[in-house]
Homo-oligomer: A and B are copies of this chain.
Amino acid sequence: MADRIYRVNMSDLTSTIEDVPEAWAGHGGRGLTSTIVAAEVEPTCHPLGKHNKIVFAPGLLAGTYAANSGRLNVGAKSPLTGGIKESNAGGTAAQFFARLGIKALIVEGKPEKDVLYCINVKKDGVDISEVPELKGKGNFDTINAIMAKQGENTAVISIGPAGEMKMAAANISVKDPEGHIRSAGRGGLGAVMGSKNVKCIAIEADDSSEVQIHDPEAFKAAAKVFAKGLIDHPVSGQGLRTYGTAVVLNIMNEAGGLPTRNFSAGQFEGAEKISGEHMFDVIEERGGKTSHACHKGCVIQCSQHYHDKDKKFLTSGFEYETIWAMGADCEVDNLDQIAEADHLMDDIGIDSIEFPVAVGVAMEGGLLPWGDGPGILKLLKEDVAKGTPLGRLLGSGAAVVGKAYGITRVPVVKNQAMPAYDPRAVKGIGITYATSPMGADHTAGYATATNIMNVGGSIDPLKKEGQVELSRNLQAATAAIDSAGLCLFVAFPALDIPECFGAIVDMLNARFGLSLTGDDVGALGLSILKTERGFNLAAGMTNKDDRLPEFMAEEQLPPHNVLWDFTGEEIDAFWDF
């Protein structure tokens, strides 16, 4: 069965199944979502209007037994940045799509009727049903409702109240094997889904079908080398598996690049209490689970089940970024409070980076005292979930909050909040924040690896030399990894173990009967970046949007007392390729 494009028009509630155009055939995942958005979405359109489209695509290796190949990529014009957006998540949806032979699901148009819909994706096509009963429901209730109706073995993509309210920080949830949540968090894609009244997408399991593999033997061999690389590398095989992504917290604190108190310092006094090591101890003590896979075939298992004081499940997919954002950036040193917020943000469907960074900005404006964890929980429950004006303000992201409070220390690029690495102390990630067409995004080119963890070589984080080239190489590699549908954490072994990187290329070749080289994969990544930047330029962005906020060049970051010191010209050199 050849892969097809599924297209749903929400204006007239129709759907079609289309052959894959020649130009899209070599693409998958992010490469495909960005190609489709660039081809079909008018760059200047209103992101919440009928001319925007939202595209869901599994990666090129999705549905195979390649380890960690289950990421779902989502693309659209972003209501947060005003540019092109791709955000991806684990969970089961990508593998389900792939087994149904769906290369991409394009959702376009906008219904006249003010009612919520569920898009049901089945082997024989798509049907669209009204789900008024899900109005205002959290993601967990939504997932449970679908599982109750269509069976537990159904993949679910959904939005919470934040997406329904079209908040610019609304994310998209993807059900994991146990009915918990992984999030395509960034850029407000949940608002785009909400603008089309799509509450959820339910994808039928099709265990009878298999993804076609051109050369199964070669694939098997490559997949084995690949999986071994993931297990052998200390970061993917041990650090992430044991401590989750929060393993990075102490490292960044030690490096003086852990943004604290709304990016006014690089070290947090309470770091130890919110570290991955502390989380490990808490989970062990309460009978949770320290290694958990968000989709079948994940060997890294950075997720976990975090239990509350009563030893009841509280949250999973409890990430460093979330812990840092509400933790160090808002000075909350209580991991249980952050875990509760994580659960609430999953349920409400709001980005657990954008929202707490916005709160940090509001704290600077006097909304709450620093460290007020209970206050943040109240904001989530009473304001964001209910859509009060304050909830809507915070749900609009850090840039809008900064504007409302008249604050100059607003850590955003292209209106998207910076993640957990201060670019003054990790200059490579600063180049990624500045230049990524996605806005400030650590996953777009994780220079922290080479700046701080000595993965893929070693470049002094406090110096400018080599950072632009590093970020460019990593951004290209990331675009390729995102196109393969692989979890980004495969980059750690791929950067350090040549055979592991080669195995990715080999798997792609074996899957499709190609003869790509490593250089071809790098070139693919660069061409995706160009496509994405082309969209942004056509939308009205310029190189002036590739800049970090002014305060980073003027306020020294303790403890290294460093400034962001790249000139515009130096940053613009990123695009010289």
Contact = CB atoms under 8 A, between A and B. Distances in A.
Interface of A: 44-46, 48-49, 51, 79, 165-168, 191, 194-195, 362, 365, 367, 389-390, 392-393, 395-396, 400, 403-408, 538-545, 547, 549-551
B404 A396 contact: yes
A544 B44 contact: yes
B403 A79 contact: yes
B45 A550 contact: yes
A106 B545 CA distance: 28
Given A393-B404, A540-B543, 14 more contacts: A44-B544, A46-B408, A46-B549, A48-B406, A49-B551, A165-B406, A167-B404, A168-B406, A365-B392, A396-B400, A400-B404, A538-B544, A539-B544, A540-B545
Contacts of A393: 389-390, 392-393, 404
A68 to B, nearest CB: 35
Contact of A403 (B45, B400, B407, B549): B400
Contacts of A547: 44
Contact of A406 (B44, B191, B540, B550): B191
A434 to B, nearest CB: 13
Count of this chain's copies in the oligomeric assembly:
2
A509 B51 CA distance: 54
A322 to B, nearest CB: 23
Contacts of A396: 400, 403-404
A209 to B, nearest CB: 38
* 5 shortest interchain CB distances as A-B pairs: A166-B406, A540-B544, A389-B390, A392-B404, A46-B550
Nearest to A415: B403
A82 to B, nearest CB: 10
Contacts of A44: 544, 547, 550
A260 to B, nearest CB: 21
9 contacts: A46-B408, A46-B551, A49-B551, A166-B405, A389-B390, A389-B393, A538-B544, A540-B544, A542-B542
Nearest to A110: B408
Contacts of A539: 544
A30 B547 CA distance: 30
A45 to B, nearest CB: 6
A404 to B, nearest CB: 4
Contacts of A191: 406
A140 to B, nearest CB: 23
B403 A389 contact: no
A408 B46 CA distance: 7
Contacts of A362: 389
A194 B406 contact: yes
Contacts of A405: 166, 392
Contacts of A545: 540
A13 to B, nearest CB: 20
Contacts of A390: 389-390, 393
A48 B409 CA distance: 10
Which of A48, A406, A541, A549 counts the most B-chain CB atoms under 10 A from its CB? A406
Nearest to A166: B406
B408 A49 contact: yes
Contacts of A166: 405-406
Nearest to A543: B540
B404 A48 contact: no
A463 to B, nearest CB: 24
Contacts of A48: 406-408
Contacts of A45: 550
A81 to B, nearest CB: 12
